[in-house]
Every structure is written in C-alpha cells, then in structure tokens.
Chains A and B, each alone.
Chain A
Amino acid sequence: MKDEVESREDRVAGLKGMGCSRKRVEDARFTQGKGNYVDDLKLDGMLFGDFVRSPYAHARIVNIDTEAALKVPGVLAVLTAKDLEPLGLHWMPTLAGDKQMVLADGKVLFQGQEVAYVVVQDRYAAADGIEAVEVDYEELPVLVNPFEALKSDVVLREDLLAEDGSIPDGAHGPRKHHNHIFTWEAGDKDPTLEVIDNADVVAEETMYYHRTHPCPLETCGCVASMDKVNGKLTLWGTFQAPHAIRTVVSLISGIEEHNIRVISPDIGGGFGNKVGAYPGYVCSVVASIVTGKPVKWIEDRMDNLMTTAFARDYHMTGRIAATKEGKITGVHCSVTADHGGFDACADPTKFPAGFMNICTGSYDIPTAYLEVDGVYTNKAPGGVSYRCSFRVTEAVYFIERMIEVLAIKLNMDAAELRRINFIKKEQFPYQAALGWEYDSGDYHTAWDKALKAVDYDGLRAEQAQRVEDFKAGKTRKLMGIGLTFFTEIVGAGPVKNCDILGLGMFDSCEIRIHPTGSAIARLGTISQGQGHATTFAQILASEIGLPADSITIEEGDTDTAPYGLGTYGSRSTPVAGAATAMAGRKIRAKAQMIAAYLLEVHDDDVEFDVDRFAVKGAPEKFKTMNEIAFAAYNQAIPGIEPGLEAVSYYDPPNMTYPFGAYVCVMDIDVDTGVPVIRRFYALDDCGTRINPMIIEGQVHGGLTEALAVALGQEIAYDDMGNVKTGTLMDFFLPTAWEVPNYETDHTVTPSPHHPIGAKGVGESPHVGGVPCFSNAVQDAFRPFGNTHTNMPHDHWRIWKTANELGLHG
C-alpha cells in the first residue's frame, strides 16, 4: 500500500497544509478571463439603472422634471425620493447609527449625491436619460472645512434638529453644535494633562491625514432580481459582507430574510470600499420589484471616487511628554474628524472613531488621552477602513509621526527612541493606557533584526555625508531614512464589544466531508483577492488530514454559507480562520471515535498523526482520514450518527495584534520634488504563517497602496465642494514604473488565544507603510529644520517644502 512506503514528511507535504506556499486555486479562472465578477452577469431581460447626480455640494432641490427623460428611447422609469417615500426607502440607516438619503430628499449635501435613478434598457440609454432629467437647484453655502463647519450658522442636517430647533443627542451621545456628530473619548484626561504639564520635554504637532479612497480596480455594483413567482429576491453584488447586507436589505425592505439571497461573486478588490450599503443597491432592488425584471447597477470610476466610501480625513493634534532621557510618560491626541454629509463610517457600533484608541502604538506609555469630534461637512459620506482595521492607520500614523517629532526635540536618534520605549516581551499580554490588551509581541527582536538587515548605522553615516555634499553643492539630492514600528489591531472582534448594526462580529465555518475523502467548507467571509479558497483549505488540511487539493472552499452565497460578518479589517484569518480550525477539530473528534471503533480500541487509545488516526504505541495500526470518511457513510457505528460534518461559530476572545518593522530609504531631488525609493525593507510578524507566498503578495500590495497614499493619492475638494480628483488622471494610482521592489522579512510570534496562532496580515503593510514612506520624506528634510509636513507628499508639495526651507538658493 502507498501509505506504508510514504514517509511522514511526504505525507505532510502531500497535504499542502499550513506553512507551505501552495499555489492559488483561484488563478486558473482569472488568468483565462473566466472570472465571474458582478458586471459579467447577464440575465434574461436585464435592465440597467444609473443615477442623476448633483453637480452642487450643497443645494436645495426646487424641482425635478422627468418628463423629457421618460420620452428618451430606452428609458423605462425615473425614480426620485418621492417615489421611494411611500415605501419608506428614501432614506436608509448607515452603519454608524446615522441615516442617509437614498435619493435627494429636498436637498443635496455633497457633489455627486444621488438625485434620481433612471431605469433603462442599456448603458447608452442611461447616459441619454440622465442628460434629459431636469433638476432645479438653489445653491446653499458650502462647508468643506470641519473647523468652520463647527462655527457656522449654516445647518447641514435640518433633519437632525428637534422641532424647537434644539439639537438632540446623536447615536454616540450629545452633540455640541448642529454640524457636530459626536465626541468620543478614551483614556484619562486629567492625569494625562497633568503629566504633560509637568514633563521634562513635550513635543507638539498638528497633522492632517488627508481624505483618500480605497479605489479597487473594480468599482461597486449589483444586480437585483425579484422573482415575483416565488417571492424571492436575489441580489448579486460587490459585497465585502454579504450576510450583513442580507439582514440590512430585509430590515429596510420588509422582505423576510429567508426570501433574500445575497451572492458576492468574484470581487475585483475591496480594500474597504465594498463594506457599506449604497443607494445603488436600494434603488436597484426597488427597480427590480417594480419592473419584475433583473436590474443591474455598476458605478463608473467617477461615481466611485466621488461618492462611495472615502477614507481618513482626520485632523490630528498631538502632544507627547517624555523625560530628558527619552522615556515617554504620556500622550494626548485630539482629532477633528470630517465625516461628510452623512455619518456612514463603517466601524463597530461602540467605536465611532474606530480603533483610533490604539494610538499609543507599540510603546509602553503609562498615561494617555484621546478625544475625537466627528463633524458634518459638504463632502461625500464614508469613512471606511481603507486596507485598515477601523482607523488603526490613522492611529499608527499619528504615533509614528509623534515619535519622530519627539526625537527631534530630544535630539535623539529615532530608532533608539523607539527601542527604549517599546513594550517589552515579558509585558505581554499588555494592558494599554487607552484600553486594549495586546496579545503577544517581541518588538525588540524584530526591530534589531530590521536595523541590522538595512545596516542602519551605515545608512545614517551615508545620510550625514549626503547632507555635507549637499551643503557643499556637490549634489541636489537629499536622502531620507523612514522608520516605522507598528502594532496593528485586527480580527474584530469579540462579540462583547464589537458589533455592526447589532450583529456580533463572530464568524463561521461549516464543513462537509464526502465519502471518498474530499470535502467542501463554507465560510461567512468573502475573498476579494486574498486567496481564501487557497489558504482556508490549507488550515483545514492541517487540521483534518485531508489534502488541501481535495477541499473546496466556498464563500459569498447566503443561501449556502453560514452567517458571518464578512471580510474587512483583516478579520478573515483571525476570526473565520479560527472558526475553520475549530470546525476542523470537531470533525477530527468524531473521526477519532470512528477510527477507534474501526481499530477496535478505546477512543483514547488512538492519536491523530498528519492524515490518520493510529493506535498509540502501534503506529502500524491506523485508519487514514480517507478510510474514516468512507466508514462514516457506509456502516452503522454504534452510538455515532452517520455522516461527517461540523460547523463552528467563533467568537474571538480578543483581537490579534500583528506588528512589524519597516525601513524606507529614499532619495529626493530638491529641484523637481521627485522622490525615488531606493530601498524598502518590511519585516512583518503576523503570528503563524499559513501561506508565505500569499503573505508576501499581501505585503507587496499593501505597501504599494501605502506608497500611493503617502506620496500623492488624495480626494481633494475646492472651496465650492467640487471634487478635484474624480478621475484616475488626478487620483494617483501607482503604476509598475513608480513602484520599487520590496524586501520582505518576518519573525513569528503566534497569537496565544487564536487556535492556530495566526494574526492576519493583509492590512499591516498599508498601516505601517504610510508612516514609513512619509517619515522618509520628512527625514530627508530634517537636517534643514523640518519637523513635519502634511501628506500626500506629491512632487509639488515636496518641492514646496524644499523651497520653504530655502534649499533652492
């Protein structure tokens, strides 16, 4: 028999389980153009929907005339708020406890807002029909600056005022002004201020983390199909959280949840853009119910950049206190958050500023205080986590900039300042001043490894020489060394403190083993390029001893997959990955009983070994998982139900805390403002590594999105609220030409509470990358008196910094 000659190593390798760089099973279809994205879906009689959008950022709607549009060939209907009102669908709830207009109800609050929805035969009729809808607007004063909005008499949200004009509490407590949304605090205010008042040294900085956008290559879209015969609604779409979408659709439409089937087909990247619910989904569902035909809505790139899901837009002021020796004693962070016209942030309910309270970073800081004020402005709603776990990107940027600023103030090396303040290995689990309990870490080891790998001292010496050469007129290029040590917080999250719309943020896996020893597993998450079909099969292969190649992974169909909260915030591996392992262990537990019966020994007398159960002390007596699977279906085993299936709903006891050490070496031409990344070293510790090839790919991609954000990518508005960066001409997406090769490295510090010790990695490189690129730019100018300049560091802004520092002679 084959099993007898195969060595144990061969058996392990044959499973393609955890730790191996298994090639992706998804790639065959994608490389042959056979992916199945939502816009590829064609149904009989399918109609299209598209929006008339507001050209103004703030205006009253005087009248909407649809008559001419209805005469355009191919136009079947034009929906306005008036049509949706009787159904109660002209507004919808947001994920942040606010509500948002589905179609403009009397006014518009941002440029590009949905005003009317045309239902048409094809895309060309949509363009003609939109053109023919006449809307009379009366312009209102525009507020694009949150600080001004908080002082302005102009009321953006009349709908939130009480009848007597007073301001009732919002979803997150009292509101101080009619354009104020919430104040959220963490930590201890008075002790922190006291520490800062009495500190040896205090560094202070104000920074703006600009508004940007996740901009996946595929935009958002859906196809709604109401089957009136069976009373069943099917909704295909680019949903990062299909089950939550089903619940939301049921709640707002009144259709019973069992009559709604939500399907996320292949998704062309998400990065947070596809978490929320958008007016396009609601209007398409309504249009399908009204017409009885399937209706497709696909946003174009401009719609995407202007309306669905911006990210960041945080104005942050920090004060950091330290002893003369550089030991940090306290930090104060104060944020004004621009949320746009509606509060549609995608955060767990209790965290209106996401996990911004991880802003003490990787450092042992005894006292801290954070306050965040959310503000309405005339900008698009959103506030999603762009390749990030709920504002941790902002938090890490904040602390990694503050450390640099403090280092300048102390005249100390920034790498050393980090080192003396790191949380020590023996302090884990570590209780941070702002509330989180970090699960595990070994920061010093990672940091030393990184600095050694790049020859940090050598780089500093080279930089000093470069400054000399620059001053002597020998070169026009400066050199910057960007450092970052980040701690992520991912895997939301424990149901006790994380929910979205009241749905606990657990996740799930259901496994069925087939008689011939292959299997299918379904999860509550959904891949958007992360390769779940590849990696989750690897987890299972190691847990249940069947080859990964014999395990199909399915996600995204709410009729078949168990309920889960979806994929964002790097939660798939920490939560659904854990559910997968736990479900696998249930399979194994039953397999053990079957094996014991077949081997005619007691349950406790067999043990699992790679792909089989063997009698303890007699490894030649065994039953393979294949044999056990067959036995589960072909014979009556006393006391055991037939079949081999399991399901697990996993509620994680804590978040996971991946971390990493990044170094960027950059040359900057002071005359052109062009930065060239000479070297980028990224050490990631994501705990147990499931598939190194995929981890590396995630790191490359995340760093590239970080490069984009740090060096140019921005959603910019003019004073009138016009979006200045609404196409890919103006919105920076790096090409192969601008992007460097990255050096990846790792340490492994497993999560102590995760069943397989994995922590999640998809977002780390973005979270850590942004400050690293930014710090490199800032560091190049540091010898000339720069402490901080705001991102994005595009060529013009870099040139301007050089100019302001007098480097142009």
Chain B
Amino acid sequence: MSKKQHYKITVNGKEEEFLAEPRELLIHTLRERLKITGPHIGCETSHCGACTVTVNGKSVKSCTVFVAQADGTEITTIEGIGSPDALHPLQEAFKEHHGLQCGFCTPGMIIRASKLLEEIPNPSEEEIRFGMAGNICRCTGYQNIVKSIQAAAAEMNSAKEAAE
C-alpha cells in the first residue's frame, strides 16, 4: 500500500477528482470508483481488449494503465458514445447484424471500432480484421463483428456525405 495521491480525469465529459493509490489500475478506477461498468475485465494482461477505452484520442487497454498515468486525461467509454435515444451507428449496427452474443466483449469492441473508423473511415475487411485484432471475442467468430463495422462505416459515411 502506498500513499494516496490526488487525481483528476475527465470521463465521458464529466470531470472526476479523487484520491487514489498511484498503483490503482484505470479499469478499477472506472469500474469500482466511478461505477462505470461498461468496460470489462477479461485478462488484466492487455491481451483481450474487454477493458478498451479511449484515452486522449487513442484506444487504450485500461487494465494495464495506472491511474497515475491517466491523470489529466480525457477518457471515453462505451457509456459516452451514444444514448438510449440516439445510439451510435456502431451500436445500431452490432444489434442489426448480430455482432454480439454474451456481450462481454462488446463495449470494448465498439469503443475500439469507433476509433478505428475515425482512423480509417472506409476500412477494407482486412483493415478491420487487423485493426480489431487487439479485441478478443469468444462467442461470435468475428464474422458478424466485421459485418457490423462495415455497416456502421457505410452508414456514417453516407450521413457525412448528406451533411456536406
């Protein structure tokens, strides 16, 4: 146990200030301290991606980041990308194309995919498979996840075109 420190992070647009041991892992800060339970724990060794969140614009596995490293950052979790009345196109697409089964990987998958589509708005199947390789799903075999991401990309691109 070590001395508690003062930290400030912004999660889904909301500023949070608290005292914590520096060794606290970001996933625990989110899940235990802030009760943001969308991100999950599947391994705690940065292999499965269930804990994926966006930190300062980058996809990050929050199980292997200390809260001390996250001090001052802006974080987006699955809870921050859509609302029940206005789902993110990825949330819609995963529902529509059966991109999930047990749902345990889903928050990590969707938040990672949302980043991927920012990086590559019109990804090929290969780019999706490569870009999502840090997120493991034990249920779906990925085929419908790929389909969901493709559908969301198409939807987002046509919405963008319409707006332009």
Contact = CB atoms under 8 A, between A and B. Distances in A.
A218 B40 CA distance: 8
Contacts of B15: none
Interface stretch (A49-57, A524-532, A656-664, A772-780): A524-532
Interface in A686-708: 693-694, 696-697, 699-705
B103 A26 contact: yes
A300 B63 CA distance: 12
B79 interface: yes
Nearest to A267: B102
Name the residue among B77, B84, B129 with the largest chain A CB count within 10 angstroms: B129
Given A27-B95, A529-B139, A736 B145 contact: yes
A736 B142 contact: yes
Contacts of A37: 37, 40, 104
Contacts of A250: none
B124 to A, nearest CB: 13
23 contacts: A23-B95, A30-B103, A32-B79, A32-B84, A40-B37, A72-B1, A73-B1, A123-B28, A124-B21, A219-B42, A268-B42, A268-B102, A269-B102, A298-B41, A529-B101, A704-B141, A729-B45, A735-B132, A735-B134, A735-B142, A736-B142, A736-B145, A742-B141
A33 B77 contact: yes
Contacts of B43: 301, 727-728
Interface residues of A, number: 62
B103 A529 contact: yes
A268 B100 CA distance: 11
A702 B141 CA distance: 8
Contacts of B107: 30, 33
Contact of B82 (A32, A219, A701, A735): A32
B141 A301 contact: no
Contacts of A125: 1
Contacts of A298: 41
Interface string B84-108: 1001000100111010111111110
A101 B18 CA distance: 42
Given A701-B140, A701-B141, A733-B48, 20 more contacts: A27-B94, A30-B103, A31-B100, A33-B78, A33-B107, A74-B1, A122-B32, A124-B21, A128-B1, A216-B138, A217-B105, A217-B138, A268-B103, A301-B45, A301-B48, A697-B140, A704-B142, A739-B129, A741-B143, A742-B143
Interface string B31-52: 1100111111111110110100
B125 to A, nearest CB: 8
A802 B120 CA distance: 40
Contact of B79 (A33, A528, A705): A33
A643 interface: no
Contacts of A72: 1
B16 to A, nearest CB: 17
A39 interface: yes
Interface in A719-739: 727-729, 733, 735-737, 739
A403 interface: no
A266 B104 CA distance: 9
Contacts of B91: 31-32
Contact of A703 (B32, B79, B137, B141): B141
B6 interface: no
Contacts of A117: none
B132 to A, nearest CB: 5
Nearest to A23: B95
- Max chain B C-beta neighbours (<10 A), residue from A40, A72, A73: A40
B59 to A, nearest CB: 14
Nearest to A40: B37
A530 B101 contact: yes
Contacts of B96: 23
A452 interface: no
Interface in B100-146: 100-107, 110, 128-130, 132-146
Query: Which of A700, A729, A742 has the most chain B CB atoms closer than 10 A to its own CB?
Result: A700
Contact of B38 (A33, A528, A529): A33
A608 interface: no
Interface string A245-272: 0000000000000000000001111010
Contact of B50 (A28, A217, A735): A217
Contacts of A26: 103
